[in-house]
Structure 1
Amino acid sequence: MIIKNIESNVSGEREVCHECDLNVVIPSLRVNQKAVCPRCGYLLSAKRANSLERILALSITALIFLLASTLFDFISFKSSGLENNIKMLDSVGILIDSGYTALAIIELVTVFFIPAFVLLSLIYLLSFLINGRYPRKGHRLMEIIFKLIPWNMVEIFLVGTLVSLIKIISLADIILGPSFFAFILFSVSMTAALLHIDRRYLFQALDSRYTENTKASTSVKQGEPAVNESLVHHVDPSLSIQKTWALIITSILLYIPANTLPIMNTRLLGQDDPSTIIGGVILLWHHGSYPIAMVIFVASIMVPIAKILVLIWLNYSVQTNSMKLEHQRIILYRIAEFVGRWSMIDIFVVIILASLVQLGNTMSIVPGAATFAFSGVVVVTMLAAMSFEPKLIYNYKSAYENRSTS
């Protein structure tokens, strides 16, 4: 059940919508009930049965599968009597040895370090909360978790791996190792754990445990609030708009070399065959791999362009204090924020192919200069979406007045 008509006279906890800044009161929710903002439709809270226990179990499961995915062979590649077996972390070493340290860092951080940190942090926090205790620095750690979640790209790496295998399956024999299946289970478990997370409920649990474990006469320690902090924060419209414009312009400048320079170079029997993003799409289409060609075209061509255009329109609309199409703009913002990270599929495809196809002069694949530019496009557009303040769509004037009178 979804509760939409949240009135100010209903008894409950007062909250501020993260996206439109509307002050609402959320009533006590029953299991499987959701509360959404009556103005912008943002999901304010969702109550699920045994959510803390479920998140803890899924986090432990995901961490076990993550460890298993690094211990055994991930993929084996056989061609012309030559064979190459790689483990998950072997790709990082191959990229570093080949001089592509930046790509190795991208893979290591987004596929291993951030997911592992998030899972370990959730296990630590939930173990304390379920036992009725307050974890040290719990609020700060929870904030860090929510800042890192958008940079977790486990499921995108998995899709990129599947795409890369389909691209080379006609050239060689591919054998999937035990770690490949462990990584699939890791991706599923972690995605399920993150889907069960409700920010409001977790912070309420932290507040409750802190209050229970702190005597009434004891002063609140700095950085450890005893009550849920308000989500209200004064927005500087001009600063937010200028920062977003700067990131949009940077992404446009990076997008040009990302699509004109080779993103991948295939070396076959001593001859080089560089390929751009659009060139790879056309080649896949000509070979009859229509679904894969469409996936790469949408993720690497359409999504970045669409996201840049949407951010330009959104930023311009709030800069001009437009009050038109508010609901449509907030929906477009959510879509742009969600799909932007999926453009990393093409980068992960290159990383997998460059790690797997290393057979000397017979056949090898190396990343092209466009991989760095395109990685920059994805990262910068994600930062642009994060820097944009969606609440300015609804209350630019009030936010500006708050800043002026403060």
Structure 2
Amino acid sequence: MSNNKTYSFEVQCHECALIVKLPDLQENQKAQCPRCGYTLSTIHRNAVERVIAFAITALIFLLASLPFNFLSFSSNGLENHFAVISSFFVLIDNNYHILALIELLTIFAIPSVVLLSVIYLLIPLKKGLYPRHGRKILDIVFKLLPWSMVEIFLIGTLVSLIKIISMADIALGLSFYAFILFTISMTLVVLHIDKRQLYQLLAQVESAHNIEIQQSQHKIARVDPTSQALSVQKTWALLITAIILYIPANAYPIMTTHLLGQDDPSTIIGGVILLWHLGSYPIAIIIFIASVLVPVAKILVLVWLNYSVQKQSDRLSLKRVKWYRMAEFVGRWSMIDVFVVIILASLIQLGPAMSITPGVATLAFSGVVVVTMLAAMSFEPQLIWKNTNDYE
């Protein structure tokens, strides 16, 4: 940064704990940590107005995706329809309560809470008013964002279509197109949200809140050694749990196809091999990467990072934080296979003629994804940098 800039405030880098003085950024500018390269802030043109518009649009398309058919499945004169709302009840009626809860939370409840919260915060702030409990609600928004998985659900839907298009006739309903527009709008909301900018808006409207933000940042900068040890121990516990869950996730069937009285169980690896033999190479590669390669790689990366932090290693700090960044980003995409099972189990219920039921591996694999996400969240990347004050 050049010396002729005016530095208006300080922020702490989330990944290396460096306190960085930032200038007032202009539109389409972003600030990165000079030590680890983490993006501290990005200013989009008319960002607040765009976030409000995209959030309202996303809510409209989400509501539009609920009352109509999402997919229609027909085979040998038998037909079934899949709607987003009815799929919850289909899963519950078949005693797949946990899968119904996963679908409800990740593609409906959490995105709705995020969008409503963003609208609740930004409309008053735009008018110079302070929304009640603004900071608490904003904290909740950023904690919930990783668990909103509408784009992953959409990819899972496309994978499901490839899997069953050879078995039956598939028709796309109005809700499918509305959900695509909802996914696009939701993604635009996430891309335009800037954490630093939103907290700064809150601080501008309520000056007393600015003191609280600065205090909390400096508390984070001086992490207590006891909390460091607890973070390492918690991450180890979650990683061990993920490794244990990964064994049944691959050993048992993830779903079973019932066709004219015959059962055909399929494991994760078995499904990848079957898709490959059927010539669906892109889908087989996607499932292999999302369901096999990513979980294993994420566990190994987090094990390495946690071990290096525990041993207080000061080697390869920049590379380690980049590996952490990648592991944190890709981990949630392993939910693709879980959503594929949820969609197929909700759609293909044709009685004795044909049906699909989730296997034990579905719950185990869901546990692997959730636990590894929690492990990445519990790991403190700031601990990678032993000497947080030695950088100039």
- TM (normalized to structure 2)? 0.95
In the alignment, structure 1 residue 335 sits paired with structure 2 residue 320? no
Would the aligned equivalents of 1:7 and 1:24 in 2 still touch at CA under 8 Å? no
What amino acid is aligned across from residue 365 of structure 1 in structure 2? I
2:41 alignment counterpart: 45
Structure-2 change in CA distance of 1:356 and 1:394 (3 Å): same
Q: Residue 66 of structure 1: SS of its match in structure 2?
A: helix
State the Cα distance separating 1:228 from its structure 2 match. 3.4
State the Cα distance separating 1:33 from its structure 2 match. 1.0
Would the aligned equivalents of 2:272 and 2:288 in 1 still touch at CA under 8 Å? yes
The Cα offsets for residues 322-364 of structure 1, whole Å up to 9 and x where unpaired, read as 1111111111000000000000000000000000011111110
Would the aligned equivalents of 1:8 and 1:24 in 2 still touch at CA under 8 Å? no
1:403 alignment counterpart: none
Q: Which is richer in helix?
A: 2
Would the aligned equivalents of 1:160 and 1:348 in 2 still touch at CA under 8 Å? yes
Would the aligned equivalents of 2:18 and 2:388 in 1 still touch at CA under 8 Å? no
Which of residues 66, 73, 78 is equivalent to 2:74? 78
- Equivalent-residue separation in structure 2 for 1:76 and 1:137 (angstroms): 44
- Equivalent-residue separation in structure 2 for 1:202 and 1:151 (angstroms): 20
Q: Write out aligned runs for 1:354-373 (5 A).
A: 354-373=345-364
Q: Residue 377 of structure 2: SS of its match in structure 1?
A: helix
In the alignment, structure 1 residue 284 sits paired with structure 2 residue 275? yes
User: In percent, how many aligned pairs have the same letter?
Assistant: 62
- Equivalent-residue separation in structure 2 for 1:135 and 1:60 (angstroms): 18
In the alignment, structure 1 residue 239 sits paired with structure 2 residue 230? yes
2:370 alignment counterpart: 379
In the alignment, structure 1 residue 391 sits paired with structure 2 residue 382? yes
2:58 alignment counterpart: 62
- Equivalent-residue separation in structure 1 for 2:355 and 2:4 (angstroms): 64
In the alignment, structure 1 residue 178 sits paired with structure 2 residue 163? no
- Equivalent-residue separation in structure 2 for 1:269 and 1:256 (angstroms): 31
- Equivalent-residue separation in structure 1 for 2:193 and 2:368 (angstroms): 29
Q: Residue 71 of structure 1: SS of its match in structure 2?
A: coil
What stretches of structure 2 of length at least 5 have no aligned partner?
none
Structure-2 change in CA distance of 1:23 and 1:378 (3 Å): same
Would the aligned equivalents of 2:348 and 2:355 in 1 still touch at CA under 8 Å? yes
What amino acid is aligned across from residue 159 of structure 1 in structure 2? I
Number of aligned positions between the proteins? 383
Would the aligned equivalents of 1:6 and 1:25 in 2 still touch at CA under 8 Å? no
Q: Residue 73 of structure 1: SS of its match in structure 2?
A: coil
Which of residues 123, 143, 149 is equivalent to 2:145? 149
In the alignment, structure 1 residue 228 sits paired with structure 2 residue 213? yes
Q: Residue 231 of structure 1: SS of its match in structure 2?
A: helix
In the alignment, structure 1 residue 273 sits paired with structure 2 residue 264? yes
The Cα offsets for residues 147-195 of structure 1, whole Å up to 9 and x where unpaired, read as 0000000000000011001100000000000000000000000001110
Structure-2 change in CA distance of 1:127 and 1:100 (3 Å): same
In the alignment, structure 1 residue 310 sits paired with structure 2 residue 301? yes
State the Cα distance separating 1:7 from its structure 2 match. 7.7
1:126 alignment counterpart: 122
Structure-2 change in CA distance of 1:364 and 1:55 (3 Å): same
What stretches of structure 1 of length at least 5 have no aligned partner?
212-219, 399-406
Q: Provide the aligned C-alpha RMSD in A.
A: 1.6
Please, which moves more after superposition, 13-22 or 335-344?
A: 13-22
What amino acid is aligned across from residue 66 of structure 2 in structure 1? T
Which of residues 5, 21, 27 is equivalent to 1:25? 21
- Equivalent-residue separation in structure 2 for 1:96 and 1:272 (angstroms): 22
State the Cα distance separating 1:231 from its structure 2 match. 2.3
Structure-2 change in CA distance of 1:391 and 1:238 (3 Å): same
In the alignment, structure 1 residue 351 sits paired with structure 2 residue 337? no
What amino acid is aligned across from residue 177 of structure 1 in structure 2? G
Q: Write out aligned runs for 1:176-215 (5 A).
A: 176-211=172-207
Q: Residue 12 of structure 1: SS of its match in structure 2?
A: strand
